[in-house]
Structure 1
Amino acid sequence: MKRMQLILAMVFALLCVCFSGSFAFADSENASATNANEASCETDAIVGTVKIDGRPLHAGEFDFGVKYANGRDDLLSAKNEADGTIDFGKLSFTVTSLDELAQNGIAEKTTIDGVPAWIVYYLVHEKTNGLSDVGVTPHTAPVSLAVTVKDEGNGALSASFQTANELCFDNTYSTGEPVTVFLAGTKDLQVEEGASLVDIEGKFRFAISTKDIAAPMPESTDAGNGQWGRIEFGFITFSLQDLNKALDVDSDSAEKTGWLRSHVFKYKVTERGSVPGVVNDPETKTVRFKVTDDGKGNLTVVCMESPFTASTAFTFTNRCVVVPDNSANDGIGPGAGDKPLNSNGDADPNAGEVVSPSAGNAPSGTSGGVSVSTIAKTGDATLTLAVVLAAVVGLAMAVAGLACGRGRNHKK
Structure 2
Amino acid sequence: MRRILFLVLLLSPLAASPSTAQEARRSAKDYFDEGVARKSKGDWEGALADFSKAIEIEPNFAAAYFQRGWLRTTPDGYNAALADFSKALELNPNMTDALEQRAFVLFKRNDLDAAIADYDRLIALGWHPSQSYYMRGVMKSTKGDLDGAVADFTAIISMSAEDKGSDKSMAYLARGLALRQKGDADGAIADFDAAISVDPRSALAYFDRAQAFEDKGEAEKARTDYETAIKLQPDLAKNVKKGVSEKVERARQTADEREDARFAGQPKSAREYWDRGNHFLSKDDLDSAVADFSKAVELDPKLAAAYNSRGVAYLKKNEPDKAAADFSKYIELTPLEPGGYNNRGNLRQRTGDLEGAVADYTKALELAPNMNHLYCVRGVTLVLAGRDEEARPDLEQCVRRDPRAKEWLDSRVESARKQRAAGRP
Range into which the TM-score falls when normalised by the shorter chain:
under 0.3
- TM-score, normalisation: structure 1: 0.25
The structure whose residues are more often strand, as a share, is: 1
Higher relative CO (Cα under 8 Å, sequence separation at least 6) belongs to 1
